[in-house]
Amino acid sequence: MKIVTVIGARPQFIKASVVSRAFIQLNIEEIIIHTGQHHDSSMSDVFFEEMEIPKPSYFLDVHGLSHGAMTGRMLERIEEVLKEVKPNAMLVYGDTNSTLAGALAAAKLQIPVAHIEAGLRSFNRAMPEELNRILTDQLSDCLYCPSDAAIENLKQEGFFHQPKKVIKTGDVMFDAFTYYQKKAEEKSNILQVNHLRSNEYALLTLHRAENTDDENRLKEILKGIQQLAETTTIVWPVHPRLKSKLAALSFSPSVKLIEPVGYFDMIQLLQHAHIVLTDSGGLQKEAYFARKYCITLRDQTEWVELVHEKANFLTGANAQAMVNTYHQLFTKPFPAFNASLYGDGHTAEAIVKHLIENI
């Protein structure tokens, strides 16, 4: 039995690390295609090295293009690989252009598609990721849902009346966080290198096109960051795409700008932060795993259960809302951790076993 896995972006590397380990444990051949969507070594190579992800069999080196061009180029290249290796199934993760290209290439060749993180919806079709999710779910045969909300979304969209297998599995990101937590503590020196003290800084990430490509939204978020930086140490691993934009906007508040970090360093930064500000989907969950409040710089989130748990707060690109929410949460105790939200830390094994029994 051969399974082809398509990955291309940082969150997918993290998810694939635990699923690939499950394939190895069950002696299943996995052929990894890395599309190259995150091609920078700081965004890609370091994750494979420290998380011991098997080296990709194919590296497509497709990046830096428009959404249409990128997805089309990936589709073409992935199709060539599938015709060569003739796998039993295709496995895709999340909501990137790599995800959609992999699912579409396999579906057109009548290869069963399994989608990890199926059923998520932000209900904002202006987001490229939302379109990728919806289309990938439609193309998939096995839909592995991380949460009750994801199951409900698919139910509302009529998936339960289609010949598809819809399963609530839990979240492989929780598997990864649980597994790598101790290793990160042992191997990362990010706090010492940057002279950071536990619970005395806020962790910030910003990368979504809806924020970084919209100058008005970006300026408003930077205004909020600048106000917070007057009283709070903010640590910001800056995404490569943003560096030149910050320089052009003459952004120079007292924020600790650092280079992009690997997964172990990010876990350490997260574990020792007192609060998180982000527009990332994955970091919203990782903040919850670390029992940290998250201020999400978006108007919607696909992780609605974290909003319901009062652990995640949406402020959008609104400086005043960012500042007000931060100060409201600063001394507020974190709510009780809901262990039923994302599984028991063994989601990857359950997915792999289900996949090999149902293809």
Q: What is the 3-state secondary structure of 241-290?
A: HHHHHHHHCCCCCCCEEECCCCHHHHHHHHHHCCEEEECCHHHHHHHHHC
Query: Rounded to whole angstroms, how far apart are CA atoms 136 and 337?
Result: 31
Tokens found for residue 255: 């924020």
Exposure string over 145-157, b if 16+ CB within 10 A, otherwise e: bbbebbbebbeee
| Dihedral sign (CA 33, 5, 280, 175) | negative
Catalytic residue among 34, 38, 39, 207: 207
Is 308 labeled as catalytic in the residue annotation?
Answer: no
Tokens found for residue 332: 């507020």
- Active-site residue list: 207
